Amino acid sequence: MKTETIKKGGKYEPGNFTLKAKRSSAGLGLYTMDPIKKGDCVIEYVGPVVPKEEWDTINSLYLFEVTKKKTINGAVRSNTARYINHSCKPNCEIDIRKERVFIMAKRNIKAGEELSYDYDREYFDEYIKPKGCKCGAEKHLYNTPKKVTPAKKKVTKTTKGKKPKTKKGAR
């Protein structure tokens, strides 16, 4: 398998920000101690690649589907990005580049703010909605009924900003 590198000093090189995991409304969250500008690469979501045949055997909420054949298990302690919580009004977004997952600032972020991104509807419906969203947004993204796609059309999944479903009954 060919490994592609990301250009040093480029858009996808995480900034040298001081990030700290601490208590948040959803448990632990990741906070920035430095201001971050819109468009900056904040951090990379890292972890071992999980072979497709093992996807259903791993009991982890930190699985991140990068492609149809590649999923990252972000549960490793070295993955500080795992502390970034879902928000219906996020300040970050996911950008997948060369099969790597980068968290980018969606807007200017002030020092002391919790970092967040939208985990997408599938993850929200399965893991967040049953317990109630704790993001604090006035209007929640997924409180409307899911739209049904006619059977004739082929639905293509995107992975941008999505954590894949994990094993049924996980948690």
Residue 80 lies in a domain: yes
Total domains present in the chain: 1
- Residues 156-165: pLDDT tens digits? 344 444 454 4
Domain presence at residue 90? yes
| Residue 54 covered by a domain | yes
Q: Is residue 38 part of a domain?
A: yes
Residue ranges making up the domain that contains 51: 1-165
The strand order across the sheet containing 100-105 reads 41-45, 100-105, 92-97
Cα–Cα dist 161/86, whole Å: 10
Instruction: Give 112: exposed, middle or buried? Use CB within 10 Å, 0-12, 13-18, 19+.
Output: exposed
pLDDT-flagged residues of the chain (< 70)? 1-9, 144-171
CB 28 within 8 A of CB 22: yes
Helices then strands, each counted (H, E), the chain? 1, 10
pLDDT of residue 113: 97
CA 118/CA 90 separation, integer angstroms: 6
Please check whether residue 133 lies inside any domain of the structure.
yes
Q: What is the pTM of this model?
A: 0.75
User: What is the CATH classification number for the domain harbouring 50?
Assistant: 2.170.270.10
User: For residue 170, is it within any domain?
Assistant: no
Q: Is residue 171 in a domain?
A: no
Quote the CA–CA distance of 105 and 34 in Å, as a whole number: 13
Alpha carbon 163 to its chain's center: 6
In a domain, 56, yes or no: yes
Q: Render pLDDT for 107-134 as a digit per residue (tens, 0 to 9).
A: 999 999 999 999 888 888 888 888 888 8
- Listed in sequence order, the residues at least 6 apart from 106 whose beta carbon sits closer than 8 Å to its beta carbon are 38, 90, 91, 92, 93, 117
